[in-house]
Structure 1
Amino acid sequence: MVQLKHSVLTPEIFAHLTQSVGWEVPPRQQIEEALSHSLLTVCALDDGKPVGMARLCGDGYLSYFLEDVAILPECQGKGIGKRIIKDIIEFIKKREHTGWKVRLELISANGKEKFYEKFGFEQLPCEEDGSGMFLTIEK
């Protein structure tokens, strides 16, 4: 049975899951810093084995960023990602005050946009907003 756990994501689990979906694995120290500065980390464990993860970043009041949603390829399509996203949305709702509006943003992996649309995410540009953009900075 898959359980979701907060604050148990380690650099080793992060690297393993990142590599499993074909993403470049950052240096260990960079992962450690990223995890320690995340507002929330969620790890999906199947009988103790890590099978999925996500991080929530942002200022915690106006803007949130969903980062590093990764599910082992052999575990995709089993509802694990859906449970993680719902867990993160509930976490945000519990933090916010009545009448407040916040924005949860992400950059989808190619081909995964439809997954996020099921939760109400909109692709950019849309009627209200222009194109999503990013800048990669490397030293």
Structure 2
Amino acid sequence: MIDHSGKNFPNINVETEPYWQGCRNHELLIQQCSDCGRHQFYPRIICTDCSSKNVKWVRASGKGKVLSYTIVHRAISKAYKSEVPYVIALIDLDEGPTMMSNVIQYDPQNVKVGMRVEVVFEDWSEKISIPKFRPENLDQNE
């Protein structure tokens, strides 16, 4: 496992624990309202569309497209220095929500708005796996 010490690890709480457990199992979980059917991310105790408290965790497809991105050339700390340049992107999941993550396993200069991506997970510790994205069907194109 790569040394991820010094990186910004997430703070897990009651609302986010199912999400992080899913990531640890390499499954991207998001919430879906049982009343109106809308998906949402980041985790909340109520539906952001209809205010229902009937939200449940469902497995997302892990696929989406790049809505916007930036290429980081100067690391925020020494812990990230070996990764520059890296892409931070807004990913529109096929289920509707948008999440921020990295696009990896791809030349940052070739990332484009609208590019199809799929989730992959980086294991940072025994308890934390971070969802990141790579171009969809990358294995098939190599």
Asked if these proteins are the same fold (TM beyond 0.5), I'd say no
How would you bin the TM-score normalised by the shorter chain? Answer: under 0.3
TM-score of the pair, normalised by structure 1 = 0.25
Question: Relative contact order: is structure 1 or structure 2 higher (C-alpha 8 Å, sep ≥ 6)?
Answer: 2
Higher fraction of strand: 2
Higher fraction of helix: 1
TM-score of the pair, normalised by structure 2 = 0.25
